Structure 1
Amino acid sequence: MTTVLAVIPARGGSKGVPGKNLATVGGVPLVARAVRACAQARLVTDVMVSTDDHAIAEVARAAGGTVVERPPAIAGDTATSESAVLHAMDAYEAIHGRPVDVVLLVQCTSPFITRDDIDGVTSAVVNDGADTAVTVAPFHAFVWRRTPAPVPASPLPPEAPAEDGQGVNHDKAYRPRRQDRPEDFVETGAAYAMDAEGFRTHGHRFFGRTALVETDPARVLEIDDPHDLARARALAPLLDPTSLPTSEDVDAVVLDFDGTQTDDRVLVDADGRELVAVHRGDGLGIAALRRAGLKLLILSTEQNPVVAARARKLAIPVLHGIDRKDIALKQWCEENAVAPERVLYAGNDVNDLPCFGLVGWPVAVASAHDSVRAAARAVTATPGGAGAIREIATWLLGPTLTTPTQ
């Protein structure tokens, strides 16, 4: 069998976006998105993440990748991706005692890479005889470059800036129609495949015959700065395949209260007592989740008797009056022997975002703040307080819930 090793370089010291490889898009860390795409590819036999960062290593392993620790000498700002790939190849061959036939370089910074992209570059080398392959997208723009302007004949200084715009991929005096121009492609930066022996010889990702593997231009996005990350999060609901958790994915469900189990409104009487409205369907869903054996918790920043009263009614534990919900959640997971990546957390507002970054299934209710929906891995169709928790229970347990209403 042909051994195809996918290597994902993931340093911990990103400058443009600190902690970039752990940043979430569609509720999933970038390094985990890359690992999953590689693991789903039909032709890839092994997935290895090269990192110098403990937190990245933990996320990579949880996503199904093997981790190789990158030495400091090839983990600095000037280190090349090729050096990480060569080091990973050496580590793989030392561990498994067999050579790598084809090696892939897959970048975390391309969040919308697909298994078809990965299989495409792999097949070009394995089946079509190319030495190297790269993902590209059709490119039709006219590219310009600033160049120094000609020195004027007059001794008087020119009024215009001393530069001249020149066409790079076109003659600026001739504007042919797109269909009359040569077909150009832009390198997406997502995936590269190389014959392993040739890669060792040349030490670079391009040598010999290079195959261009076209990908969907709508998915081409490289995250180099915070604006790119914001764009990726906005696009994720449109580009990610619809994916909802099931009971196979989740061991625990943690629920925010205000705005998630309520509609975020508070009624205050003349004595200053607060009242909120909850949905009976949510009670039924929570009862079904409890009966199914899932661990449950209500986690709220509000120190309010109504939160504790609702938790007693539902017969589930509650932590409320919590300033740092993420710290409380991490401690609760440790005390209950629950892996955070197996936790579904449902929330609605910005104080839930730290918890979103901790769990495997961050879920936003339909009425959540825009930034919360953008960071979620799944979003309910139902607003908070109108049965959103009942909807989540249906994802996990199926449409028929038979436990009594709470």
Structure 2
Amino acid sequence: MMKRIAIIPARGGSKRIPRKNIKEFLGKPIIAYSIEAALESELFDEVMVSTDDDEIANVARAYGASIPFIRSKSASDDFATLADVAKEVLSQYNDNGEYFDWACCILPTAPFVSGDKLIRSFSILFDISADSLICVKKNSYPIQRSLIESNGFIELMFPENSKERSQDLEETYQDAGQFYWVKTNIFLEKGNRLSCGNTGKFVLPEMEVQDIDNYQDWELAELKFKVLSRRVVSYD
């Protein structure tokens, strides 16, 4: 039987927005949206939060997540990557004799995640025989026309594309920063979600993507969420 785990990484040391992972987002702690989406999907044998913080752990438990162990100091500093956290979690479960075929890492500040998105993204893995999946949004402007500053002046980063029509340039995407699927055995061997075999994509509408790195981002995310709650969004 195939086993799946949802890993929600939520350390206590957020700098730009203090206590960001449990800050109230339209009526409840923002991490609650990620936990509830994972539980709502009914995809997972385990929905866990990896944290080094007692208050975050208590909030996560209140919304139905498990906290089987406290995150190590080495995986809690400013230099620890998402892959470092996921590897620590999976390794600790393995040491306890519990193994998972698939892991989904859901960010704790991703209120636009839903159970439906998780279900449909997981089905894509099998439709295209992927080993991992990342949710993305299309870049609204061709990055091949990007501008850079050089010696105080602006110039094209890729001047060879200066005469190309926008519609003829290859479509590009960026990480939506919401969730990632990985086949655990390949991930533990390779150690990076984007070098984990064949990586598929789950495309999100621009309206459902918002980095939350500062207070202005937070306000924009709340505005988008309010608008989305009033209408249905279609997916590619």
> 2:208·2:224 contact (CA, 8 Å) conserved in 1?
no
Q: Does 1:199 align with 2:178?
A: no
- Aligned equivalents of 1:62, 1:182: Cα separation in 2: 46
Query: Which residue does 1:59 correspond to in 2?
Result: 59
- Residues 117/171 of structure 1: CA separation in 2 closer, same or farther (3 Å cut): same
Q: Does 1:105 align with 2:105?
A: yes
C-alpha deviation, 1:190, in angstroms? 0.7
Scaled by the length of structure 1, the TM-score of the pair is 0.52
- Aligned equivalents of 2:119, 2:160: Cα separation in 1: 33
What are the superposed Cα offsets for residues 239-285 of structure 1, whole Å, 9 maximum, x if unpaired? 2479xxxxxxxxxxxxxxxxxxxxxxxxxxxxxxxxxxxxxxxxxxx
Q: Provide the secondary structure at the position in 2 that maps to 1:44.
A: coil
> 2:6·2:106 contact (CA, 8 Å) conserved in 1?
yes
Query: Which residue does 1:182 correspond to in 2?
Result: 170
- Aligned equivalents of 1:3, 1:241: Cα separation in 2: 35
Query: Which residue does 1:13 correspond to in 2?
Result: 13
Identity among equivalent pairs (%): 27
Q: Which runs of 4+ in 1 moved over 6 A?
A: none
Higher RCO, 1 vs 2 (CA within 8 Å, ≥6 residues apart): 2
- Aligned equivalents of 2:45, 2:121: Cα separation in 1: 14
- Residues 164/177 of structure 1: CA separation in 2 closer, same or farther (3 Å cut): closer
Give 1:287-366 correspondences, 5 Å limit.
Answer: none
C-alpha deviation, 1:114, in angstroms? 1.8
Q: Partner amino acid for 1:100?
A: F
What are the superposed Cα offsets for residues 152-178 of structure 1, whole Å, 9 maximum, x if unpaired? xxxxxxxxxx3332145982343x254
- Aligned equivalents of 1:46, 1:170: Cα separation in 2: 50
- Residues 231/132 of structure 1: CA separation in 2 closer, same or farther (3 Å cut): same
C-alpha deviation, 1:216, in angstroms? 2.5
Query: Which residue does 1:163 correspond to in 2?
Result: 153
Count of matched residue positions in the alignment of Structure 1 and Structure 2: 227
Task: Give the aligned CA root-mean-square deviation in angstroms.
Answer: 2.2
Which consecutive residues of structure 1, in runs of 5 or more, have no partner in the other structure?
150-161, 243-406
Which consecutive residues of structure 2, in runs of 5 or more, have no partner in the other structure?
232-236
Query: Which residue does 1:115 correspond to in 2?
Result: 115
Q: Does 1:84 align with 2:89?
A: no
- Residues 46/128 of structure 1: CA separation in 2 closer, same or farther (3 Å cut): farther
- Aligned equivalents of 2:34, 2:81: Cα separation in 1: 19
Q: Does 1:221 align with 2:210?
A: yes
Q: Provide the secondary structure at the position in 2 that maps to 1:74.
A: coil
Q: Provide the secondary structure at the position in 2 that maps to 1:192.
A: strand
- Residues 53/168 of structure 1: CA separation in 2 closer, same or farther (3 Å cut): farther
Q: Partner amino acid for 1:164?
A: I
> 1:105·1:193 contact (CA, 8 Å) conserved in 2?
yes
Scaled by the length of structure 2, the TM-score of the pair is 0.86
Query: Which residue does 1:74 correspond to in 2?
Result: 75
- Aligned equivalents of 1:32, 1:170: Cα separation in 2: 47
- Aligned equivalents of 1:239, 1:6: Cα separation in 2: 25
